Amino acid sequence: MATVFVVLVGTGMAYLLARKSFKGKEILDILLTLPLVLPPTVIGYYLIILMGRNGLIGSTLYQWTGWSMMFTWYAAVLASFVVSLPLMIKTTRAAIESVDKSLINASYTLGHSELTTAIKVILPLSKKGIIAGTVLAFARAMGEFGATLMVAGNIPGKTNTMPLAIYTSASSGEWSRANLLVLFFTLISGLFIYIANKFSTRVI
Partner 1 sequence: MGLSVRIVKKVEGFTLDVEWQIGNELAVLFGHSGSGKSMTLQCIAGLVKPDEGSIRANGDLFFDHGLNVHVPPQKRSFGYVFQDRVLFPHMTVRGNITYGCKGLSRSEIQGRVAEMIGLLHLRGLEDRFPAEISGGQKQRVALARALIGRPEALLLDEPFEALDNPIRLEMRNLLKEIRREFDLPVVLVTHDVLEAYTLADRVIVYSKGRIQRSGSPSEIFRLPADLDVDWL
Binding site for partner 1 (CB under 8 A): 100, 102-103, 105-114, 120-121, 124-125
Q: How far is the CB of 97 from partner 1 (least distance, A)?
A: 16
Q: What type of residue sits at position 89?
A: I
Report, in Å, the least distance between residue 123 CB and partner 1: 10
Closer to partner 1 at the Cβ: 57 or 119?
A: 119
Q: What is the DSSP letter of 57?
A: T
User: Closest Cα to residue 139, out of 199, 93, 80?
Assistant: 80
| Residues 118 and 16: beta-carbon distance below 8 Å | no
**What is the C-alpha separation between 120 and 112, in angstroms, rounded?**
10
For the bound state, the minimum distance from the C-beta of residue 26 to partner 1, rounded and expressed in Å, comes to 25
- Min dist CB 18 to partner 1, Å, is 18
Q: Closest CB to partner 1 among 128 and 177? A: 128
Q: Which is nearer to partner 1, 117 or 159 (CB)?
A: 117
Count other Cβ atoms within 10 Å, centred on residue 104. Answer: 18
Closest to partner 1 by CB, 100 vs 197, is: 100
CB of 20 to partner 1, least distance (A): 15
Which residues in 63-92 are b (16+ Cβ under 10 Å) and which e? eeeeebbbebbbbbbbbbbbbbbbbbbbbb
Cβ closer to partner 1: 54 or 113? Answer: 113
